[in-house]
Amino acid sequence: MTEAEVLQKLNEVFRDLFDLPDLELAYSMSAEDIDEWDSVNHVMLVVQIEREFKIKFHTAEVEEMKNVGDLVKLVLGKLNTAASR
Amino acid sequence: MLPSELTWLPGQPEWNDYLKRVAALESASTWDALVELANARLDMMTTIRLDRQLLKLFKDCPGSLQTKPIRLAVLGSSTVDHLHAGIRIGALRRNMWVSLYQGNYGQYVQDLHDAASSLHAWAPNTMLFAFDARHLLAGYQVGESADASQARVKATIDRIVQSWKTARSKFACEIIQQTILPIYPRLVGENESRLPGSPAALVRSINEQLRTRAHEEGVTLLALDQWAAEDGIAAWHDPALWHRAKQEVHLAAMPMYGDIVARILAAQQGKSRKCLVLDLDNTLWGGVIGDDGIEGIVLGQGSALGEAFCDFQRYAKDLARRGVILAVCSKNDEKNALLPFEQHQDMILRRDDIACFSASWGDKATAIRAIARQLNIGLDAIVFADDNPFERNIVRRELPMVAVPELPDDPAFYAATIARAGYFESIAMTAEDAMRTQQYRANIERESERENATDLPSYLKSLEMKLHWSRFTHADQARVVQLINKTNQFNLTTRRYSSDDVANLLDQPAVLPLQMRLVDKFGDNGIISIVIGYMVDQTIDLDTWLMSCRVLGRQVEQAVLGIVVEQARRMGAHRLVGHFRPTEKNGMVAEHYLRLGFSALPGRAPDQQFELHLDTYTTVPTFFDITESQHDRSRSITKTQ
């Protein structure tokens, strides 16, 4: 999966979960830019991303996710690790 | 696929588009469309999205619903709000409405005890206690003495029971208690219970004792530990989610959790399904009886597949033993269809186990409608099990109120799939449950005797019917509650009473709560009719009059009126007033009071009223031998000893 594909899939998750059909994710976006992205929804978001990409985040990683760019990098890294195994 | 998914529901490839279309709709059929969307194999995301639409489109309970709106408070010591969407959608799947109490995190003790709390103002009618293991076991000591460990369990149980009692006394609500998830890793291993104070062992003991106490206190269990045992604890609990958000129940298991809560809520209102309709070829045995013949079908010892079919038959038979009615719906010549029942030695199900046997070449939707008519049950009481996706889909399309489980390809998993769906969820077992298939079979025999009988009076006379009546008794309370809450057709007002409501009617001199049992030459039909009247100003106001449709057309109503009249006079009444509140299902009793000789009172819809003056009324003779039964059966047993 390429970086662009990961971003696109994440975009769909954000749209469905937050009911924002027109949302266009950008790397620099963080929770502060999206009202719906509060701490409660963050938990949902993480669970859904884990399911969507069939990956599991480390407890520490979840706390370090600050913006969309971090998220894409993290997901991509996990997918690559899984693929090289 | 997660092991906690809704495996019995079909995937809907068009689900996303359908949801978008429904979101744009604004018509009376929107609710039905939402129900249909809920009956797909939803996951966490689709459940949340559907719930969002539900909340947007329906701020309140739609008036057309037959079920009582539920006000549910889920009380726990950790996060429970993430489960709300699953519960609302589980209820929607069953055509029910639930509003959920939005409490403050961890405030359940204050909510419960403080009369000024928002929970008191909100007034729930159902309460679900969802305690997490860490809260209940706080302060545990590994290696403490066995006595101390036992005392710890006892104190915990006492605390939980006290919560039930408080909730009962303050809210008079139904209570559901969730068992404790076994989240603790073992310290010893296989013999964990030998270590006093082991948290894993403590959870186990608490869960065991909860079962006993809940039964004693009339509390309904939500056996989450059982689900964890089936699916694996990882499907139900993620320690990372606990640390992150204090969610004891895994967010991804929320749709399943909600469905389990909803099936309990449905059972409390008598909305569980009653009848399992079975296909034959490749459902009860392998192969096609009409083609392969009795020697050719796969069933029984000698083949793994044949044993799997036997196992499924055994599951169906066990269901019948506990009160689920069995029927057959097969595209077959009847002679062929019956052959294995009569001649195959490995058949577990026998003809006797099947209350209604339908084998023909017509379409299955029509056949299932006929089965429902013959058994006098609603289509929404039926589950239809068929291996053939074509038949499943046509029945789903034609009869959306029939539940059609998505059976897996391998018959070894048929039983587990049906069990997982929880169609037949029951809260209390009554003596009548065990006899049900027999009763329905006897019913059909009576029907066929009716066809031979020359006229109705002589037929009724030949039945040797005895009607035993009494005021409500403790011994029969479970059956009375069951009947009140699941009778939809012959039910004048469709007023539901909880177990506590019924208990409150006992020994009240101004109330006339009557239960009627019917015995005839084919057997004991059990309690089949209920009347509840309240004495107001020398008038008995008939709040409830209902009857099981199994005994329709036998003049039970006339006989019951005779009993009501006699008791009303004894209480000093001069007049009866009856009510008819029309619903989607009770059209058959619209004329009930007029047929019995009442006259209509002017009044406004939807409550139509009728009156009967007792001073001038003479009882109509019937074919019943009517006797007052000697109160409590348990008490009369003691007397004879």
Quick check: B128 and B73 in contact, CB under 8 A?
A: yes
Residue A11 included in any domain: yes
The domain total for chain A is 1
Residue A22 included in any domain: yes
Å between B18 CA and nearest CA of chain A = 15
A72 lies in which domain range? Answer: 3-80
Cα-based torsion angle of the residue sequence A15, A18, A21, A24 in order, rounded to the nearest 10 degrees: -60
Longest Cα–Cα distance in chain A:
38
Residue A54 included in any domain: yes
User: Token match 């029509």: residue?
Assistant: B366
Distance of alpha carbon B27 from alpha carbon B280, whole angstroms: 41
Confidence of residue B91 (pLDDT cuts 50, 70, 90): very high
Confidence of residue A41 (pLDDT cuts 50, 70, 90): confident
Distance of alpha carbon B515 from alpha carbon B496, whole angstroms: 15
Residue A65 included in any domain: yes
- The model scores a pTM over 0.95: no
When the pLDDT of each residue in chain B is averaged and rounded to a whole number, the result is: 89
Sign of CA dihedral B635, B636, B639, B641: negative
**Mind listing the pLDDT tens digit for each residue in B445-471?**
666 555 444 456 766 787 788 999 999
CB contact under 8 A, A47 and B49: no
B3 vs B90, residue with greater confidence: B90
Residues of B in contact with A16 (CB under 8 A): 45, 49
The CATH number given to whatever domain includes residue A34 is 1.10.1200.10
Q: Token pair for residue B499? A: 């177990």
Domains of chain B: 67-268 (3.40.50.1110), 275-421 (3.40.50.1000), 463-640 (3.40.630.30)
Confidence of residue B290 (pLDDT cuts 50, 70, 90): confident
Q: Please report, for residues B6, B19, B35, B55, B96, the alpha-carbon distance to residue B26 in angstroms, rounded to integers and kept in the order given.
A: 29, 13, 15, 14, 20
Å between A29 CA and nearest CA of chain B = 22
Which residue of chain B has the CA closest to A18? B49
CB contact under 8 A, B82 and A44: yes
Report the pLDDT value the prediction gives residue B638, as an integer from 0 to 100.
33
B23 in contact with A at a CB cutoff of 8 Å? no
Q: What is the 3-state secondary structure (H, E, C) of A64-78?
A: HCCEHHHHHHHHHHH
**Mind listing the pLDDT tens digit for each residue in B113-128?**
888 889 999 999 999 9
Which residue of chain A has the CA closest to B2? A51
Residues of A in contact with B244 (CB under 8 A): 43, 46, 59, 62
Report the pLDDT value the prediction gives residue B457, as an integer from 0 to 100.
73
B588 vs B474, residue with greater confidence: B474
Residue A85 included in any domain: no
Three-state SS at B466? strand
CB nearest to A43's CB, from B43, B49, B244 = B244
Residue A53 included in any domain: yes
B251 in contact with A at a CB cutoff of 8 Å? yes
Beta bridge partners, B533, equal B512, B542
**Mind listing the pLDDT tens digit for each residue in B364-406?**
999 999 999 999 999 999 999 999 888 898 899 889 999 999 9
Q: Please report, for residues B132, B154, B160, the alpha-carbon distance to residue B218 in angstroms, rounded to integers and kept in the order given.
A: 22, 19, 14
Complex prediction ipTM: 0.89
